[in-house]
Structure 1
Amino acid sequence: MRQSTLAIFAACAAVTVCAQAQAQQPAPPAAVPDQMPFDIPYGDSITADRAAEVVKAVVAEATKSPRNWKLAISVADTHGELVYFYKMDNTQQGSVNISQNKARTAARYRRPTQIFNSAMQTPAGAYIATLEAPSPTASPGGLPLVEGGKIIGAVGCSGATGDQDAVACKAGADTVK
């Protein structure tokens, strides 16, 4: 009886050790894509007049009935620097800098800010906040403005929920073709 108990205990210990060793094996490397993602070239920066048109479309989307989204709207050039800013009446003050940061992030990283938000939802995404100073804004509502296959700037919206910010910003980005 004692020998069979020891044999069962030894077998359980062996299974546990093997399972832990197997769990610690590194995952196979992910396939490396041949093309660089978000490799969109920069073009000439958006003008203030053109940026005003983008903002007008954002405001129209934000105020569609029954919406009453109060947004801070920023348009940045290809370097992520502010070209045009508009704050709707009664927009919360904290949204001013956030909209500018969303536009800066979308222009400098050549991708929507939603991508950073999605990445930060994973365990590996925690590193994003350490990329640069200021760190990228990882919230929906920042989109590159692409005309003729080249980035001419970016638009950032803040003041509503992230998803609402993104919908309004998309209306502005859609005016640029």
Structure 2
Amino acid sequence: MLNIVSISLADAKRVISAAEAKASAIGSPSNIAVVDAGGNLLAHVRMDGAQLASITHSINKAFTSLACKSATRDLAADAQPGGQFYGIANSVEGRIITFAGGIPLVDGDAYVGAVGVSGGTGAQDQSVAEAAVAAL
């Protein structure tokens, strides 16, 4: 039998709160999503002024980083033509996102969920996601 450990709602709220604070500090209204260990949406926030299109991007960045056990920005180079993961963005019904802003949430050696941030530049999304992870 497998024992799956997952992020709690209380932890997800803390992660989102830290992300909101960072996004506000850098002037990047963001969509912030947290998925559980199964890749299911646990919590989401759309800050005032955040782009509507970024709602789905934030959720899919979180899903991607958990499913691939990698930060989404680290997948980008290998997803380009000629790369070992070229075409990955077309897999899993188009849910795979290969640009910055998604980071797995890890407790010890267990992947307990992931955070996805979208709404700013790649560097801003990554910065907000890193602040979120640091809160866990």
Settle same-fold status: TM greater than 0.5.
Answer: yes
Higher relative contact order, structure no. (Cα contacts within 8 Å, ≥ 6 residues apart): 2
Find the structure with the greater CA-based Rg: 1
Could you say which residue in structure 1 is the equivalent of 2:106?
Answer: 146
State the one-letter code of the partner of 1:72: N
State the one-letter code of the partner of 2:130: K
Partners in 2 of 1:129 and 1:104 — Cα distance? 12
Q: Is the 8 A contact 1:74 1:84 kept in 2?
A: yes
Could you say which residue in structure 2 is the equivalent of 1:159?
Answer: 119
Q: Is the 8 A contact 2:63 2:95 kept in 1?
A: no
1:126-157, Cα deviation, whole Å (9 max, x unpaired): 33234332341111000000112211100000
1:162, distance to aligned residue in structure 2 (A): 1.1
Q: Does 1:100 align with 2:51?
A: no
TM-score norm. by structure 2 comes to: 0.90
Q: How many residues align?
A: 133
Higher strand proportion: 2
Q: Secondary structure at the match of 1:76?
A: strand
Q: Secondary structure at the match of 1:60?
A: helix
Instruction: Select the residue among 16, 31, 35 that pairs with 1:72.
Output: 31
State the one-letter code of the partner of 1:99: S
Structure 1 stretches of at least 4 aligned residues deviating more than 3 Å after TM superposition: none
**CA separation of 1:73 and 1:135: change in aligned 2, threshold 3 A:** closer
- The share of aligned pairs that are identical, in percent, is 32
> Any unmatched runs of 5+ in structure 1?
1-41
1:122, distance to aligned residue in structure 2 (A): 4.8
TM-align CA RMSD: 1.6
